[in-house]
Amino acid sequence: MSIEKEFEGKTVTDATIEACKELDISRDQLEFDVVDEGSTGVLGIGGRNAVIKVKVDAAIVEEPEKKDESPSAIPTSDINVKEVEDVFKKIVSHFVEGSTISAELKENNILLKMKSDADLGFLIGKNGDMIKNLEFLLSRIASKQNSQSVMVSIDINSYREKRDTLLKEKVKSMIDKVISINRPLSLNPMNSYERRICYLIIEENTEVTYRTKEQGHLKKITIVPKKMNTNLS
C-alpha cells in the first residue's frame, strides 16, 4: 500500500529534500509528481513555492511517532563519527582555510562543531538555511555509511549553541505560563532536532506533558497541563 502527501519548497529540489527529510527515506525511494513548479514572481512579488505530490510505500515510512523524538531510539555503538567528521572537513576545505572542526556523539546525534576567525555567515545562510542543507546532506551520508538512521547537526562559531540556549529559555518560560493559566499553549513549528530539545525540557517537569501535530514538513509542539488532561479524559 502506498501513501500520498504534498510537500513545498522554494524549488522542486527543495521540496524533494523536505520530503526525504520528513519521511526519512533516500532520494532513490522517493516517487513524486510535480504539482506546481513554483515561481519567483516579478521583482520578488507574487512568487509561490514549488509543490510536489509524493507517493511512497507505507511500509517504508511506517514507524511510531516517537522514533525521531526519543534519544534512545537509535543504537549508537556502531556509529562511525570519524567518517562523518572527515567528510565535513573535506567539504569545508573548499571554502575556508584554518578552521577547527570537532565531532561528538550527543544524544544519538552527531554534532559537528566548527570554529574559525573568518566570517562564516555564508555557511550559516539566512535563518540557518545553509546549515540545514549541509545537515541534510551529511545525515544521508552518515545513514548510508552506518546502515542505520543517523542525524547530523552542525554548530558554526557557536551559532547552534546560541539558538539552542534561546530555545530552551523559551520552552521553560512557556511551561511556566501553561502551569499558571492551566491551558495548552503551542510553540512554533520545528524540525526534529529542535523538538528533541523541547521534549527533554518538558519531560523534566511533572506538571506538564505535550502533543505534536504535523504542519507542513515540520511539527508543532503543544505543551499541555497534566491536570487539565486528567479533567478532560
Assigned domain for 68 exists: no
CA atoms of 94 and 51, how far apart (whole Å): 33
Same domain, 58 and 85: no
pLDDT band at 46, cuts 50/70/90?
low
Same domain, 37 and 52: yes
| CA 162 centroid distance within chain | 17
User: How many Cβ atoms are within 10 Å of 208's Cβ, its own excluded?
Assistant: 23
Same domain, 147 and 170: no
Give residue 58's pLDDT.
Answer: 56
CA atoms of 11 and 47, how far apart (whole Å): 11
Q: Give the mean model confidence (pLDDT) for residues 210-231.
A: 78
Question: pLDDT at residue 165 above 70?
Answer: yes
List the beta bridge partners of residue 153.
111
Q: Report how many helices (DSSP H) and strands (DSSP E) the chain contains, helices first.
A: 8, 9
Which set of grid coordinates corresponds to residue 97? Answer: 582555510
Element at 219 (helix H, strand E): strand 218-225
Assigned domain for 218 exists: yes
Same domain, 153 and 179: no
Same domain, 119 and 186: no
CA atoms of 124 and 32, how far apart (whole Å): 29
Give residue 107's pLDDT.
Answer: 59
Element at 9 (helix H, strand E): strand 2-9
For 195, the domain range is: 161-232
Question: pLDDT at residue 140 above 60?
Answer: yes
Per-residue HEC secondary structure of 148-189 comes to CCCEEEEEECCHHHHHHHHHHHHHHHHHHHHHHHCCCEECCC
Same domain, 205 and 219: yes
**Chain mean pLDDT for the chain:** 77
Same domain, 210 and 165: yes
Assigned domain for 75 exists: no
Quick: pLDDT tens for 78-135: 677 888 888 888 888 888 887 888 888 875 678 888 888 888 788 888 777 788 888 8
- Specify the higher pLDDT residue, 209 or 32: 209
Q: What CATH number did the domain enclosing 182 receive?
A: 3.30.1370.50
List the beta bridge partners of residue 2.
57
Q: What CATH number did the domain enclosing 87 receive?
A: 3.30.300.20
Assigned domain for 90 exists: yes
Domain end, chosen from 106, 122, 157, is at 157
CA atoms of 224 and 208, how far apart (whole Å): 6
Going from the C-alpha of 159 to that of each of 95, 96, 141, 171, the distances in angstroms are 18, 17, 23, 19
Burial tier of 202 (Cβ tally within 10 Å: 0-12, 13-18, 19+): buried
Assigned domain for 25 exists: yes
Same domain, 85 and 139: yes
- Give the phi and the psi of residue 99 in degrees, each rounded to 5: -90, 155
Same domain, 124 and 97: yes
Window from 47-56, 131-140, 158-167 with minimum mean pLDDT? 47-56
CA atoms of 194 and 168, how far apart (whole Å): 10
Report CA torsion sign: 15, 21, 22, 24: positive
Q: Give the mean model confidence (pLDDT) for residues 153-176.
A: 89
Question: pLDDT at residue 61 above 70?
Answer: no
Element at 221 (helix H, strand E): strand 218-225
- How many domains are there within the chain? 3
